[in-house]
DNA sequence: CAAGATTGAGTCGTCAATCTTA
DNA sequence: TAAGATTGACGACTCAATCTTG
């Protein structure tokens, strides 16, 4: 049946939207958005700083988006921009001490929210969902 | 394993993002976005017109978003605004002949894209994906 | 010229405040 | 006062054009 197939698609998009909104709400109290938290996470995993272009690659988005995201993180005081001593074209996004602390809060909130969401599923179901979702999207990246 | 669980979540969001981008790309040639197509679909299903507030409800978004979406559809020439004879507070979004034609094109492109995406899955897998995605998001709406 | 980053314009979404009509 | 719609300001994203440096 065709209806079942396009329902799979609609369900996926709907569920993802709902889940993301849920996560966004849980992050609210710490003043971080999903996007900002993801950026801070990349900086932490990279040891504290990254060229803006590399940050864009890791976030799988366009460079101009990162420019603006870092602008907002900079006004928040969670990131500063620094010159790259090796290449004067490059600018480094550097996580601040305040950014590290806020990241830690956000990370906990996100883990809580995720496990709460996924608790609706058994471990087996979670694995299946991940596998099916990946299978759907594979080759379209 | 905790990793598996949060991977389920990440996979879902990633897959949804990829699938939506794929769909958006396929709609490109007809000049409709996913959002615009959805709005036109609601108008068609409602028989051609809807008060803006009801359109917002059906699209499950905020009213101010619909105001702007209809603004853009109006500049496209796919929708016009009309007064409601019964209540002078409400404004009707009315699909135009050009809007109907464009909707038909967009609907076909979307169906093609959806079936192409879902063709990566068996009918059984598609049902499972839909069920698991819904189960994850249930109760968070 | 290539690369890295930024700017400007536009889409899609939110929220809070406002205007008009019931 | 409520309801319907709009506006203004913002977040997060895209693309095309631009500026600076290599």
* Distant-in-sequence, close-in-space partners of B80: CB < 8 Å, separation ≥ 6: B74, B93, B94, B96
- Cβ contact A91 with chain C strand, < 7 A: yes
Q: Across the interface, do B140 and A22 touch by the CB < 8 Å criterion? A: yes
pLDDT at B1: 42
Q: Across the interface, do B117 and A22 touch by the CB < 8 Å criterion? A: no
Mean pLDDT for B125-139 is 89
Residues B18 and A128 sit within 8 Å (Cβ to Cβ): no
In the predicted model, is pLDDT for residue B129 greater than 80? yes
Mean per-residue pLDDT of chain B: 93
Q: How far is the CA of A4 from the C1' of C8 (A)?
A: 44
In the predicted model, is pLDDT for residue B140 greater than 80? no
Separation in Å, CA B1 to CA A85, A120, B26:
42, 15, 38
Instruction: Name the β-bridge partners of B139.
Output: none
What SS3 class is residue B103?
Answer: helix
pLDDT at A9: 84
Closest Cα partner for A43 from A74, A21, A3, A12?
A74
pLDDT 10s digits, B77-94? 999 999 999 999 999 999
Per-residue pLDDT of chain A (141 residues; tens, 9 = 90+): 445 566 778 888 999 999 999 999 999 999 999 999 999 999 999 999 999 999 999 999 999 999 999 999 999 999 999 999 999 999 999 999 999 999 999 999 999 999 999 898 988 999 999 999 989 888 776
pLDDT 10s digits, B41-80? 999 999 999 999 999 999 999 999 999 999 999 999 999 9
What SS3 class is residue A83?
Answer: strand
Nucleotides of D under 7 A from a protein CB: 3-9, 11-17, 20-22
* pLDDT confidence bin for B3, thresholds 50/70/90: low
Q: Does A62 touch chain B (CB under 8 A)?
A: no
Give the count of Cβ contacts less than 8 A between chain A and B: 159
What SS3 class is residue A98?
Answer: helix
- Cβ contact B61 with chain C strand, < 7 A: yes
């Amino acid at each position: 049946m065709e209806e079942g197939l396009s329902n799979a698609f609609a369900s996926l998009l709907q569920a993802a939207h709902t889940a993301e909104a849920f996560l966004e709400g849980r992050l609210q109290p710490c003043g971080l958005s999903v996007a900002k938290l993801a950026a801070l996470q990349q900086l932490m995993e990279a040891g504290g700083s990254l060229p803006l272009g590399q940050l864009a690659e890791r976030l799988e988005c366009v460079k101009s988006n990162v420019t603006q995201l870092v602008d907002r993180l900079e006004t928040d005081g969670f990131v500063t921009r620094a010159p790259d001593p090796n290449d004067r074209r490059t600018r480094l996004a550097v996580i601040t001490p305040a950014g590290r602390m806020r990241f830690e809060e956000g990370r906990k909130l996100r883990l809580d929210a995720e496990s709460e969401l996924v608790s609706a599923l058994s471990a087996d179901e979670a694995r299946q969902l991940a596998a099916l979702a990946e299978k759907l999207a594979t080759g379209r990246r």
